[in-house]
Chain A
Amino acid sequence: MAANKDVVKINVRNLKKSFGSLEVLKDISTDIYEGEVVVVIGPSGSGKSTFLRCLNKLEDATSGSIVIAGQDIMSKGININKMRENIGMVFQHFNLFENLNVIDNMTLAPVELKKATKEEAKNRAMELLKRVGLAEKAEAYPSQLSGGQKQRVAIARALCMNPDIMLFDEPTSALDPEMVGEVLDVMKQLAADGMTMVIVTHEMGFAREVADRVLFMDGGYIIEEGTPQEVLLNPKEPRTIDFLNKVL
């Protein structure tokens, strides 16, 4: 929960992204510090998911700069696979590998990328599964899990690579309401452990409780940012007020 304001983990300057003639990100600049939990909110189509996906280059930004841990990920020579090893991502639709069981889902990347032996990866995976409360599901296939369980495995899978940064793209939006809590609990625990997190979400309660900083995006810009107190409880911009009135 304590952001280390001395170390900038992610530095974004004048980020722009267009899909054809549609400009989704118009001019995004922000700094995200080590251990900081940043929650991005905003109406759909505001560009928040695109912003998140630019951070690990699932989308190629059109212009601007993104520097992560001192490395410019937009530069030509960058080994993006190496960068992604340190940036975990959790998706709205979980995206567990359907052809692999839980433990293989988790150990595939560390073993293939020679970050660990099969044995080490397996031990680490079991440890993480215990942490998310799913140790007994190690041999299960994704199709045998509930949505909440899938998402907890997806978080554990990302953690299995030992990332410094975790990105969450609406991690609870596809879940049944009674399963949202179990996923948010895992994320809270992660935040408490000091993980740097960028979270796109509609969970305002979670944002208020866990976020160090809230970004409100609309129309491809960051309209307002600040502590949850400032943005969620005392918003200044009319568009923020309008949005919060609709969702709260």
Chain B
Amino acid sequence: MIRILTGYGAMLLIAMGRTLLLALCGLFFACILGLIFGIMSVIKNRVCNIISLIFVDAIRGVPMIVLAFFVYFGVPYLFNTIIGGFNVSLTALQAGTICLALNCGAYMSEIIRAGIQAVDKGQMEAARSLGLPYAISMRRVVLPQAIRTMIPSIINQFIITLKDTSILSVIGFPELVNTAKNVQANTFMSFQTWAIVGVMYLIVITILSRVAKTMERRMNRGR
């Protein structure tokens, strides 16, 4: 155990840093995707509703490991070999970010849709009755109320996404799990290696949950 920590501790910490970087990149784009598709699913426009529905169903219906292989290997192959003439190549970080963004974005879009729909219809009607356009009513009245109810689910989704980065070890991104595999291969100490990795995840996620709880409490204070 000590040998792993002294010999590979720094390596594992750097790998954890990469895990966090990947999660952060993924979450950033997931929030944007989630907001776009979430709003597309609540506005009164059939085409937008259907596009959003297809996006969410398609992503939810495919395991992330398949999505990862598809984005990392399948998409460049499509452009470079099947269609031909392109020279598309994604780094593991880019592919990983896309996968996380798509996957988490789909769930975020559902959270945002549910959050918006949970706000009493009368709020939108009152805003519109004053002459406010739909977009301003949404931004100033409905969304701020929706976000309050969404916060716990969003944070939960963040944690799931952070853990899902481990799936992306399959496309060779040197995040924590991938690095730990190498450590195990070098030392043959699988019990110690995976125990350390498990604890590292546990610490980061526990800190995150605590921060989340504090934020949640602060958001609710105004009520």
| A residues at B contact (CB < 8 Å) | 56, 58, 81-85, 87-89, 91, 93, 95-100, 108-109, 112-113, 141, 143, 154, 157-158, 161
Query: CB distance A141 to B140 under 8 Å?
Result: no
Query: CB distance B126 to A112 under 8 Å?
Result: no
Query: CB distance A95 to B130 under 8 Å?
Result: no
Query: CB distance B131 to A97 under 8 Å?
Result: no
Q: In the complex, what's the smallest C-beta–C-beta distance from B54 to chain A, in angstroms?
A: 26
Q: Contacting B122 at CB < 8 Å: which of A83, A95, A108, A143?
A: A95
Query: CB distance A161 to B131 under 8 Å?
Result: yes
**Segment 9-52 of B: residues with Cβ below 8 Å from A:** none
Query: CB distance A84 to B128 under 8 Å?
Result: yes
Residues of A within 8 A of B129 (CB): 56, 58, 84, 87-89, 91, 158
* Complex Cα spacing A97 to B137, Å: 10
Q: Contacting A98 at CB < 8 Å: which of B133, B136, B145?
A: B145
State the interface size on chain B (CB cutoff 8 A): 20
Residues of B within 8 A of A85 (CB): 130-131
Instruction: Take A141-B222, A143-B223 as given contacts and tell me if A109 and B131 are in contact as well, using a CB distance cutoff of 8 Å.
Output: yes
Query: CB distance A113 to B132 under 8 Å?
Result: yes
**Segment 137-173 of B: residues with Cβ below 8 Å from A:** 140-141, 144-145, 148
Query: CB distance A112 to B136 under 8 Å?
Result: yes
**What are 13 of the A-B contact pairs (CB < 8 Å)?**
A81-B132, A83-B131, A84-B128, A88-B130, A89-B126, A91-B125, A91-B126, A95-B122, A108-B132, A108-B141, A113-B132, A141-B223, A161-B131
Instruction: Take A97-B141, A99-B145 as given contacts and tell me if A113 and B131 are in contact as well, using a CB distance cutoff of 8 Å.
Output: yes
Q: In the complex, what's the smallest C-beta–C-beta distance from B118 to chain A, in angstroms?
A: 12
Is chain B's interface secondary structure helix, strand, loop, or mixed overall?
A: helix
Residues of A within 8 A of B132 (CB): 81, 108-109, 112-113
Cβ-based interface call for B205 (8 A): no
Query: CB distance A84 to B130 under 8 Å?
Result: yes
Instruction: Take A81-B132, A157-B130 as given contacts and tell me if A99 and B144 are in contact as well, using a CB distance cutoff of 8 Å.
Output: yes
Q: In the complex, what's the smallest C-beta–C-beta distance from B167 to chain A, in angstroms?
A: 38
* Complex Cα spacing A108 to B145, Å: 15
Residues of B within 8 A of A98 (CB): 123, 145
Q: Mark B81-122, 1 if CB is under 8 A from A, else 0.
A: 000000000000000000000000000000000000000101
Closest Cβ neighbor of A92 among chain B residues? B122
Cβ-based interface call for B200 (8 A): no
Closest Cβ neighbor of A84 among chain B residues? B131
**19 additional contacts (CB under 8 A) given A95-B123, A99-B144:** A58-B125, A82-B131, A83-B131, A84-B130, A84-B131, A85-B130, A85-B131, A87-B129, A91-B125, A91-B126, A93-B122, A96-B126, A97-B140, A99-B222, A109-B127, A112-B136, A113-B132, A143-B223, A158-B129
Residues of B within 8 A of A109 (CB): 127, 130-132
Closest Cβ neighbor of B141 among chain A residues? A97
Residues of A within 8 A of B122 (CB): 91, 93, 95
